[in-house]
Structures are given as C-alpha cells and as structure tokens.
Structure 1
C-alpha cells in the first residue's frame, strides 16, 4: 500500500475505532453490576482511551509539531505497523462488544430463575465465587444469582482479559512510535523535541519523557542544571568509607542513611594524567541523562550525583539502592558458577531475565542511548530479603522459585560510564581485555579498523545480547566454552570465537532453553545481522532490522516467559 494510501486508511479508521471504543466502554458499564470491579475496570479503560485518543491526535493533527502530520514523517514500515495495531484494536473492541451482546441475547431466552439474594447461602456464594461482602449492593435483589455466578466464574476473567489486551496493544503502539521516530531527521531538531516534551497529548500518550531524553542527547549541557548533580568537595570525603566490591565499584551509606552504589571512571586522561574537559562534559551529560530517565523498563538504578575525585583523577557515579535493599549487588557473570551445569535457575526465571535485559537495551536504543560496553559484568542483582516460611505477604502463595533465585527477577543495567550517544564518535582506545572483546562484534575487537559506522551500533548490540543470551541459556560463562581451557586468552581471530559460540548454541541450547530460545540466540550471534534476520533493502535508520529485533527476539522472549 503506497504511503499516501496508508495515511488515508488511518484517517478513515480512526472515527470507527473511537466509536467502537465508546461502545466497549458502555458495554463494560452494562456488564459490570458489581461496584468494586466496575470502578477498577472503568478507570483502567478510561486511562487507555485517553492514551489512544491523545496518540491519534498527536499523529494525525496537521502542522502541530512538524509541518504536516507526524504520521507522514515515519518510515513506511512503521506506518504499516501503526495501521495494523489500530486495526487490531478495532477488532478487539468489536469482538468484545459483540460477544457480550450475544451473551445477553442468550440470557434473555433462559427461563427466569427465582431470586435467592443473600440469605442462607450468601456466605457460601461469596467464598466460592470470590465476590463481594454481603453488605455490598452486589447482593441486592436486582442482581440475580445466576448473573453473579456468571461474573465470578467467567465474566470477570473475560472483561479483565479485554482490558489487559487493550493495555498491551497501546504499549506496543507507543513502542512502535518510539522505536522509529528518533532516528528520523524531524526528530533530530531540538525545537521539535522541545514541542513534543511540552505537548499535553505527548505527555498523556507516554512520549514526552522520551522526547526530553533525546533532546538531552542532542543538546549541549545546561550549566545551571548540571551543577546540581556535582558533589561538593566536602561531601566527597564520604567516598573514603565506602567498601570496594571490585570492577571499579564500591558501596556504602550516604549521609542521610541511604545505601548507595558508586561506579568509578578514570578514562579520558590527558598527558598529565588529568581527566580531559571533553570527557568531563560528556560524563556530565550522561549524568543529566541518568537523572532525567524515569521509565522502569529501562532497568536503570536511580541516579543521585557525580563526584570528581581530583587526587585519584576519577569520576564517581552515585546510584541509590532499590527500596528495601541493604546488601551490595553481584553481577550476572559472578552469579554463574565456575562449574557448568550446576545451580542453573529454573527455565522460567532465565526466560524472564533474558526478556528484561533485551527489552531494556532495545528501549534505550529507541531514544538513541547506546551502551558502548554491554556485557554480563554490567548486569547486576541485589539480594532479596528472605521471607519467613509460609509468609504469603512476601513470598506469595504460588511463588515456588527457590529463594536464592529470586534476585534474578530484578536485573539492573549499569556501566553507563561507558555509554555513548548514537551520533557520537567511536573511541579509538585500544582494548586488549578478552573479557570485554568477547562480547563485541568481531569488527570491534581491539582497535577498530575503521570509523565506527552507524550500522555497527546495531550489530554490536546484537553481538553483546547474543553472548549474554548464550550464557543465560546454558548458565555458563562464555569464556568457559573454550575447549583449551584458557578462556580464549590466546584467541587472535574473533571469527573463530564467534564460530565457537554459534556451535554451542546449535548443539546445546535447544536442550537447556528450548528451540525458540535457541533460534533467537543464534540470530543475535550472527555477524551479518541483516542477513540473519532476512532483511533486504532496509532504510538508513534500519527500520526493518529494529522491527525484526523486537518481533523475533524481544516479543518471543515475552511469550516464553509468560508461558512458564
């Protein structure tokens, strides 16, 4: 379908879509004769409807943010996806309202059953169906017992499922827009981003925060704001009492009692051993970025301050521990035992861990925020407080995960002192560490032979994800896969290491993590990502490849974790 026809199709679809949404809302009001459930469902539905309405106005209004429509600024593949998502929402609304209408017609044909409102059997009905207390209006004579039974057994699940699907499709719509807006020329303009970040509909639809983040990536630092993230020299003395935990990290208690994690960076020094001003400026910009982000799906710890230790010539990034955590974290690589095939977490735990990491990295990529040195050392977990045996408030009655494995439910991504922006220069610093090179694309080992082209951003990302997915699936450190037992220390050809990883994925991963997980890991480990994902004639912003990464990796992992 040509681009012009896509725009016309979307414009034609919006009125019936919004009309179907209003019909679904009325259907929910009619279905739910149960006050507590009605209140919850109507609020959730109303929030979704506001987001949908705001998103369509933002996309289709003329000359509001850019000249013409925002929708017309998107790549054709993204326009197709948005049209299909809106179509799915329309089908969802119509299917739900039609199913409820059919139920009501069938119900009217049934013989009338005498009302047995709450007398002797009410408490039993309450227990069996899990509905409200006898004092609730649900037990009034206007609501017959067979209606309450239907709601408790079938109707409630059906309506909640409908709302959940509505929320899922809206989240996908938002992610579709985020993924393909920011690399495009109109959204590399600070004025356009400023309009978006202040637009009311962009705020309602969840797009304004990402516009603010992207504007930070493009703009020079605001000195008035930046000075607030630097610690004064007297507060830097606090660093002396922190406990080193390796990997240029330390932890301790801040002056106000909060537990904090500190990451140190000492790269970018001049000939005199001092940190260059350009490096300080970039770290300051990174601090502002960390301070501004708020999406929990980014899996980024709450950033507090930057500290410049002049004597050591290093910069400390100070993060707050998650709420309720008092013990220091450990990394993914340190959590995997040195002896393979031991203490492997349950499959569901590993699928959820892999999903959260991949989702986070993809979302960071959508706003142009790249992690230059992504590896298992920079995925960390905080030990969870162990609940007393049989305590449902903490463990949950159905939580069968071994206590030692529960920390993997909440991974955090750190190492952002090495992060860089998508349009940034590539570091020319030679990297000899095999433990870092091993996660990189083969062309990025050591000193890059050519300037870091933009397409390599995605290839680098996929290589790092592929190696980590292999480690999670096998529950084995990647350098343990070297048959010589030397951890690839003697490796000189990165292609040889890549082939070793691919062979282990083909031979073993299907048994330890399943065939679908095996396939997506294999895709990520390929050097030529476009060829592996079957991408041809992609555009300059890699729209098709990004879409394939989301659909063939992130969404598959989401399906796998939900199924386990």
Structure 2
C-alpha cells in the first residue's frame, strides 16, 4: 500500500502550503480560489486514504495505477506551488509591498492560473475514479457506508444523486413523492406506435411534463407502494448530469377504471419550443444524419444514463430508441446539434437485488409476467437472446440492458433503423430466432461501424452485442466490462 503512504505525505505537504499561503490573502483575490481548491484536494486525499486503506476492493483492475499516476502528478503540482509561494515573505507581520504585487501580477499569477487549470483537470480525472467506485461499489453499511458517502459527494452531481436514489431504495432516507390530484388524462401521444401507447408530453400548470404509466393488478408481485418507491427514487435524480428525467410525482390513471395503473410525471429540462421528433426513433426516421461529434455525444449521454441507472440499483429492462428522448438544451433551442438525450421508459424497471437474494415484496418493483408477455413481442428486436425462452424474464440483469444498449448504439451510429440495416423479413417468417439476429447484428456492426464511427465506437457496440461478460459473469464483472469497454471507450473518442 505504498500509494496510501504517498497520499499521507501529500496531505502533510498540502497542509503546510495551505497554512503558508493564508499569510498572503491580500496579494490577489485569485489566491482565495486556490484556498478552496486546496481544501477540496486535501479532503479528497484524506477520504481516499481512509476508503482505500484496506485494499482496492472498490476499484476496477487499473484504477490503482491511475491513482498512483494522479499522486505523481499532484506531487509535481505541490512542488510548483511551493516554489511559487517561496517568492513571498513568510512573516505574518509583513504585508506584500508594491513590488511583490507587481511580481505576482506579471509573473506569479500566470503560473498560478496554469496550476489551477491543472488542479481542475486533476479533479476531473479523480471524479472519473470516484464514478467508477460508485458504479462498482458493493452494498455498504454502517461506518463504511458513511465514508463512501463522503467520497461520492466529491464525485459530481451525477454520483451524489445516484447515491441519493440508492438511499431511497434501501430506505435510508424518506422521500415522499407528491400526488397530483388535479391531473387530467387528456394528452396527445408522443409516439404513434405500440411501443408507447401510454406515454407522452402533457401541458399542465403552464409547463410541459412527460408522463408514463406503471401498470399492475392484484396478481402482480408489486403494489402501489412499489410504484411510490420508484417515483420517490426517480425524484432524486439530477437531470443535467445523469441524463434521466426527474420524477415530479404520481397520479392515479382513471382513463380505464378496469385497468389498475398509475401515471408517473417527469420534469422536462427546458420548455419545448415547437413540435419536433422527440425520440431517437422518430429522429432517425425523419431527421438528416447529425454530425459525427453529435452522434458520439448522444452515445456517451445514453451510456451515462444507463450507468447511473445501474448505479442507482435499477435495471431498466426496456432500452430502445423509443425510450430515448431528444430534448433542447435551451428554452428556444430546437436543433439536433445542440439537443441532448435523456433515458425514459422506467415503466418496466425493477430494483436490482444482490445476486441470489429473493426480492421482498415491498422492494420488488417487478413487472408482472402477463405484462412481460404483452410487451415482449413489441420490443423483441432489442431483447437479449436469453430473454426469448418462453416469453418471461426469470432474472433480468445488467448484461441484458447492455445488449439492448448495443442495438440502440448500432442504430444511432448508422443513423438507420434495424429494418434498413437488416432484412427483417428473414426474422418475421416462422419462429423468431433471437440468436441468429444477434449474429447478424454483430456482423453488421463489424462491416459498417468502423468506417462510419471509428474502431473505438465499433468495439464498444460489439462488446454490448456479444455479451462480453458471458452468461456466467457476476453482476460486478458485468459492471466492470460495461464501464471499461463501453463507457470509457466512448469517452476516449476524439472527433
């Protein structure tokens, strides 16, 4: 654990520098920025020392090496800071003279700004490590849980809010969700297809909201409490960093009194300026192909949403182009180039229980078997071959979401729906052959994606489609494959 000893040394050196530069608070306002940066840096390092002291259980294979390289980088950073501060007097009674301020303004300030930028880059890299720890974290309780929570607060809004969702599911915090008593079920369907018979945008209280339904009946292993739990958890997401819409509340769907279902209502990030092709499926069918960098960005956003879904202890179960919204970034924005993607369709999601555990009824969030049989034929093109046994899902895991994501990324990269990538007539005659479809999708990705999107994108898609973790891989191993070979791979693409 030499790297941990190195952290302790850096903390000691950092504290000395922190104490020294406080004597120069009249030098320039920029120094106060360094003060806060050092405070954050020292806290991160102290937290890392505590969390990682017993080994690297929370890290993927090469994260320890990345931390070591970060420490070397930090050592050089602190050395440069020390040289900078040595230019100024170290006596508490002395104030900086005009000449000192001039030297700072025309010499030291630019060096300081360079160092500050380096520290910001270091923080971004460190946040990647914290993000990986969150994604790969095993359930933690007690004191260990408290330490991780401190660390996750430094990982950015996405990580900290994914941890809040986790808290709701584990009932560590109580998050009541509003009920909309005055909700009216009059709306225009967003997508005229069997994929979305009960989802769409509605106008309420002078703002747009997105709605989707959660159906259950007396034979289902879920209850109204399960729906409320899902709504409460999704009410904790941060839309801008997680690319998942935040749930505003729930309401009873009264359109058909014979049908027992609730409506989940979600905040739309920006007001919709005009009617457009709101889903990825509609955009691919009707919009010209966006630039390469836009499609890469869409892919990263979708994968980030999937990662945070899994980090929040949810399995989505319905990843498809109809469940990816494309919404404007600004109130008046409407172009594909500036829009962002958001994952929706949590009407079938379930809580991700530890392997081998039997989900309790209150936390089940299980889709009932009748609903599974009803939806399966409509979305079977995106379902993992293992799900095509008898129309039922016994245990849906992360690898099944990965496969669905791979199909979506293939369509996104080619900007073409499956019907045009493959001859679907070969799969609609007679019995549906999901295994053959998988082979054709992999072959199509190898033939066409490299030239269209580059080798890194192609490798990420094939990793999803080929079930790289394998049927015997644990959820932890599947998470590692997804983070390392899909999300990180896409983030490394330079356009």
Q: Same-fold call, TM > 0.5? A: yes
Instruction: State yes or no: 1:412 paired with 2:342.
Output: yes
Match of 1:110 in 2: none
Q: CA deviation at 1:297?
A: 2.7
Deviation at 1:90, TM superposition (A): 1.6
Partner of 1:172: 128
- Report the counterpart of residue 72 of structure 2 in structure 1: 91
Aligned residue number for residue 229 of structure 2: 285
**Partner secondary structure for residue 503 of structure 1:** helix
Q: How does 1:97-112 map to 2 (within 5 A)?
A: 97-98=78-79
Q: State the Cα RMSD in Å.
A: 4.1
5+ residue gaps, structure 2, are 88-95, 354-358, 360-365
Aligned to 2:285, the other structure's residue is in SS state: coil
Matched, 1:548 2:495: no
List per-residue Cα deviations over 1:117-171 (Å, max 9, x = no partner).
xxxxxxxxxxxxxxxxxxxxx996445589737855xx46632431122212331
In the alignment, the residues of structure 2 paired with residue 31 and residue 473 of structure 1 have an alpha-carbon distance, to the nearest angstrom, of 54
Cα distance change on mapping 1:180 and 1:386 into 2, 3 Å: closer
Would you say the 8 A contact 2:271–2:331 is kept in 1? Answer: no
Could you tell me how far 1:200 is from its partner in structure 2? 6.2
Residue number in structure 1 paired with 2:469? 530
The alignment of Structure 1 onto Structure 2 pairs a total of residues equal to 463
* Aligned residue number for residue 468 of structure 1: 408
Q: What TM-score do you get using the length of structure 2 for normalisation?
A: 0.79
**What secondary structure does 2:419 align onto?**
helix
The separation in 2 between residues aligned to 1:56 and 1:418, in whole angstroms, is 40
Residue 309 (str. 1) matches residue 253 (str. 2): yes
The 5 Å alignment of 1:439-454 reads 439-445=382-388, 447=390, 451-452=394-395
Q: Contact (CA 8 Å) 2:348, 2:367: kept in 1 or not?
A: no
Instruction: Describe the shift of the 1:17–1:552 C-alpha distance in structure 2 as closer, same or farther (beyond 3 A).
Output: farther
**Which residue is 2:356 aligned to?**
none
Counterparts in 2 of 1:488 and 1:144: CA distance versus 1, 3 Å? farther
Aligned counterpart, 2:428: 489
- Closer, same or farther: CA 360–156 of 1 in aligned 2, 3 Å: farther
Deviation at 1:214, TM superposition (A): 2.4
Q: Is the 8 A contact 2:385 2:438 kept in 1?
A: yes
Secondary structure at the counterpart of residue 428 of structure 2: coil
What are the Cα deviations for residues 426-481 of structure 1, in whole angstroms up to 9, with x where unaligned?
753325655511112111136357732xxx61321220121111111111112322
Q: Are the aligned partners of 1:20 and 1:93 in contact in 2 as well (CA < 8 Å)?
A: no
8 Å CA contact 1:434–1:489 kept in 2: the answer is no
- Alpha-carbon distance between aligned partners in 1 of 2:25 and 2:450, rounded to the nearest angstrom: 46
Contact kept in structure 2, 1:196 and 1:202, CA below 8 Å: no
Cα distance in 2 between the residues matched to 1:357 and 1:441: 18
- 1:318 pairs with 265, 281, 291, which one? 265
C-alpha distance in structure 1 between counterparts of 2:489 and 2:348, whole Å: 29
Report the secondary structure of 2:373's partner residue.
coil
